[in-house]
Amino acid sequence: MPSPFRPAVLTLTGSAALAIGGAAALPQAAAAAATPRVVGGSAAPTPSWLAQVWVSDGLGGSSICGGQLVSSRWILTAAHCVRAELGGGQVAPSAVRVRIGEPVLSEPNSGSPGTGIDQVRINPANSSGSTNGDAALLHLAAPATQTPVAVGGAGSAPVGVPAVTLGWGVTQTGRVSATLQQVGQTVVDAGRCAFYGGDFLADSMICAGGVPGQDSCNGDSGGPLAVDATGPAATVIGTVDFGSDACGDGSPAVYQRLTEGATAAWLRSVLVRPAISAGTTTPVAGTSLPLTAATGWGDATFNWDLDNDGAFDDATGAAVRTVVPRAAQTVSVRASSVAEGDSAVERLAITPVDPALAITAPDAATEGRVVALTATSRAAAGTLTAKGSGGTGTKSASVAAGGTATLRFRVAQNSTWQAPRTVVFTLTTTGGLQPSARQVRVRVADDDTPRLTAVKTWATRAGGIVTARVPGRGRLRAYAVRNGRTLTSRTVTVKKVGAVTVRLALSPGQRRQRPQIRLTWTSSEVPGTTATASRRLP
C-alpha cells in the first residue's frame, strides 16, 4: 500500500532550513496519503516560460511552487500554492512574487525582487483542503517578455504519452535542488491512481509516472507536466498536484488535467486562447496546406513558427499556407493583443498521411466487356480520373481516406476481327493522391472470327493471281489444287491489315484445268488463329 499522499508545496523558513508542509492542508484522510518534487531526475535546460512561484507567509518564511507562463499576463500554478497556511484563504497578490525563465532557485529579495502580480484567481471549484479544481492563475502586473507555453488541447494527453515534469522540489537527497531538474512521467491509465480514493477525479486529473525512483515531490506543485518540455514545441498537458508521501516509491503521481475536463474548462473561460484550423485533416506531404488562426481579441495579430525552430518569424496574419512536411511536425502561432497587453501560443501537430493509391486492373479483357479499375487509398483522400484510349472514355471517382473506388469502362466492340490491341488508361488525381502507376494498360482480345475478304482470282499468261484482304499481320499461303493434288504454292509475309496479292506460276495446261485457288492466313499476333478462303481460277 503506498504511503499517504502529499501536497507538493515546500515551505522554506529563513534562508536554509526546510520544513516540508503545505501552504494549505489537504483533507486529513489525504494527509496520510499527498506530496509534489523531482526525484530521480536530471539537470534540465530552463524553458523561458517556466516560473518559480514564491509565496511569503508574512513571518519571514516563504513557500516555493512551480508555475508556467500560459499567456503574457498569466502564470498558471496550483490553487493550494496560493492559499494561506492558516485558514486556507486566498493569499494577497502582494505576498506572491514570481521568477520566469530563471534556471537557479532564488528567493526574491530587495536586491532581486522578481516579478509582482496584481491578481490571484483561484479556480472557483476548489476549496481549502480539496484536490478538486486545484488550479490558480496569477495575473502579472506587467506583461512578460518571454514567449508563453502552449496548453494542450482535447485528446493531447492519452495513455502512453511520454511527458516530463520540471521543478526545483525535493530530490532523492531530501533537499531542494538549486538547479532545475526534470524526470520522465508517462501518462498511465487512471485506474492506477484509484487508491487515492475520492481525491483522484479521473475526468479532470492525469495519472502519470509510477516508476520507482522517478517522481515529482514537495516544491514541484503547480509546475508542468509537459510534452517536448524543453523543445520548441513545448506543450503543457497538466500541472503537478499530489502524490505518494514517499516520493519515488513507485506510485504514480496526480496532475491537474489541462487538456479537457472541468479544470481545463475553467482555464479556458479565463484565458483568451488562439485556435488553429487546417484546410484538411488528411494533409499529404509536399502539398500546400492552408492554416487559419483565430482568437477572441478584436485587435489580434498573429506570428507563425512553421518550421518548429521556436522562432515566430515564418509568416504573419490570420491565414497562411505551409508545405506539408514529409514527417510529423508541429506548427505554432502566437496571437498578440496591444489593447490587452497579452499574448498566447497555440500549436498544431501536422501528421502527413500516406498518399499512396494502389491501382488494380485486369491484364486482359475481351471487346464489348467491362474493364474495372479499382483504386485503394492508404490514408489520403481525393479524386481519381482515368482517360481510356481508343474512344474508351473518361471517368472520375472520389476516393475516401483509407477507402476504395472503382471505375468501370466498356471496351468498344466492332463487327470484324482485329488483332489484340492495348487500351491505355491515363490517370490523374487531386488531393495529393499518388497512384502506384500513372498509366494502366489492358490487352483487349477480339471475340469475332477472322475472315479473308474481297478474294478475287484471275488468269495470266504466267499463271494466276489471287488477291484478298487479310485481317492482320502474319503469313498468307496461296496454292492451286486440282483433283486433290497441289499444282503450285506460294507464301508471303503480311505486315499489316489490308489487301495482299499473290502470284502463282502455272503452265498453260494447268491454267486450262481451272484449278481451285486456296488461301490460308496464319496470324503472327495470336498463335493458332487462322482464316481460309478459296476461289476457282477463271
| Active-site entry in 62, 72, 134, 446 | 134
| Active-site entry in 130, 221, 251, 332 | 221
For cell 508471303, name the residue.
492
Structure confidence at residue 29 (pLDDT): 30
What CATH code is assigned to 272-350? Answer: 2.60.40.10
Query: pLDDT per residue over 184-241, tens digit each?
Result: 999 999 999 999 999 999 999 999 999 998 888 888 899 999 999 988 999 999 999 9
For the chain, what's the residue count?
A: 538
| Active-site entry in 80, 130, 305, 336 | 80
Q: Compare 40 and 28 and report the one with higher pLDDT.
A: 40
Is 313 a known active-site residue?
no
Is 221 a known active-site residue?
yes
Is 57 a known active-site residue?
no
Task: Bin 29: left if φ > 0, else alpha if -120 < ψ < 50, else beta.
Answer: alpha
Topology (CATH) of 453-536: Immunoglobulin-like (2.60.40)
Q: How many Å apart are CA 535 and CA 151, to the nearest integer?
A: 94
Structure confidence at residue 248 (pLDDT): 86
Structure confidence at residue 24 (pLDDT): 32
Q: Is 153 helix (H, G, I), strand (E, B) or coil?
A: coil
Identify the weakest region by mean pLDDT among 146-150, 175-179, 248-252, 369-373.
Answer: 175-179
What CATH code is assigned to 356-445? Answer: 2.60.40.2030
Q: Where are the domains of the chain?
A: 5-35+48-148, 151-261, 272-350, 356-445, 453-536
Q: Compare 41 and 155 and report the one with higher pLDDT.
A: 155
pLDDT at 256 over 50: yes
Query: pLDDT per residue over 378-410, tens digit each?
Result: 888 899 999 999 889 999 999 998 899 999 999
DSSP state of 88: -
Percent of the chain with pLDDT over 70: 91
pLDDT at 135 over 80: yes
Q: How many Å apart are CA 8 and CA 336, to the nearest integer?
A: 33
For cell 495482299, name the residue.
500
Match domain 5-35+48-148 to its CATH number in 2.40.10.10, 3.40.50.740, 3.30.365.10, 3.10.310.30. 2.40.10.10
What average pLDDT does this structure show over 342-356?
92
Identify the weakest region by mean pLDDT among 38-47, 99-108, 483-492.
Answer: 38-47
Extended strands (E) in 72-145: 74-77, 96-100, 115-122, 136-140
Q: How many Å apart are CA 254 and CA 265, to the nearest integer?
A: 18
What average pLDDT does this structure show over 311-322?
97
CATH 1.10.1060.10 fits 151-261, yes or no: no
What average pLDDT does this structure show over 275-297?
91
What pLDDT band is residue 68 in, cutting at 50, 70 and 90? Answer: very high
What average pLDDT does this structure show over 146-157?
95
Q: Which residues pair with 381 in a beta bridge?
A: none
Q: Which residues pair with 375 in a beta bridge?
A: 359, 405
What average pLDDT does this structure show over 423-434?
92
The two domains 272-350 and 356-445 share their CATH topology (first three levels equal): yes
